[in-house]
Chains A and B, each alone.
Chain A
Amino acid sequence: TQTVSQSDAHVTVFEGDSVELRCNYSYGGSIYLSWYIQHHGRGLQFLLKYYSGNPVVQGVNGFEAEFSKSDSSFHLRKASVHWSDSAVYFCAASPSITGNTRKLIFGLGTTLQVQP
């Protein structure tokens, strides 16, 4: 069974701070990883993805994430947050295997609160 864990339920930072949201997954093979953002009362918006190649991937609005096979991690980072980054962030994974139906397995989410 594949799982995705986000160790921090809530993260609070000040505007202009850097932030790292943690994501770990359990799966031994090739895996597709992604991050989504969900603003209150709205649907999920895609931020970025990793499948292969450069382990550091860039996303929208200054977000980036780094894949680490040794740590089974895909942490999301931003160098300088803005108040509008306040939202719930979901890490999601999909095992990349033949016959896989591409379902996404989500973590519980991390609520990021950016204070002025």
Chain B
Amino acid sequence: GPKVLQIPSHQIIDMGQMVTLNCDPVSNHLYFYWYKQILGQQMEFLVNFYNGKVMEKSKLFKDQFSVERPDGSYFTLKIQPTALEDSAVYFCASSPVSYEQYFGPGTRLTVL
């Protein structure tokens, strides 16, 4: 089936540094999402993106977070500066016109 790729699979950084998580969505999809999963907890919605704009963001999407998809390339999640509580697995997803979302394998972010 359609595949969403995420780069890198793991990222370890020091608190206060900037990090960019990259997502390569399915090529003809129109909607893009980021979710956050802390170990042992449920997946939680962060933000979604359509037509070059953020459509909705949750309370977890702090001011230090930003997303973009310049010129149809990677869909990125940037955190600047990072905090200890940002340690989690971040999943990217994309969907076509329908509601069905396809997820990437996740990026495990560890903030020291």
- Whether A90 touches B43, Cβ cut-off 8 Å, given contacts A44-B91, A101-B48, A103-B48, is yes
Give the docked Cα–Cα distance between A90 and B37 (Å).
12
Are A102 and B103 neighbours in the complex by a CB distance under 8 Å? no
Q: Decide if B91 touches A46 in the complex (CB within 8 Å).
A: no
Contacts of B48 in A (CB 8 A): 101-103
Which residues from A are CB-within-8-Å of B75? Answer: none
Size bracket of the A interface: 20 to 34
Who on chain A is nearest to B33 by CB?
A103
- Annotate A89-116 by CB proximity to B: 1 below 8 A, 0 otherwise: 0101010100001111111110000000
- CA–CA, A81 and B39, complex, Å: 26
- Count B interface residues, CB 8 Å: 27
List residues of B (1-53) whose CB comes within 8 Å of A's CBs.
Answer: 1, 4, 6, 31, 33, 35, 41-45, 48, 50
Of listed B35, B44, B55, B99, residue having the most chain A CB within 10 A: B99
A42 to B102, CA, bound (A): 13
In the complex the two chains form, what is the Cα distance from A51 to B100 in whole Å?
10
Chain A residues with Cβ under 8 A from B43's Cβ? Answer: 44, 90, 92, 104, 106
Determine the residue in chain A with the shortest Cβ distance to B9: A41
Give bound CA distance, A85 to B102, whole Å. Answer: 19
Contact check: which of A34, A42, A44, A103 meets B45 at CB < 8 Å? A103
**B102 A46 Cβ-Cβ under 8 A:** yes
Q: Which residues of B contact A (CB under 8 A)?
A: 1, 4, 6, 31, 33, 35, 41-45, 48, 50, 55-56, 58, 91, 93, 95, 99-106
* Interface, chain A (partner B; CB < 8 A): 32, 34, 36, 42-46, 49, 51, 90, 92, 94, 96, 101-109
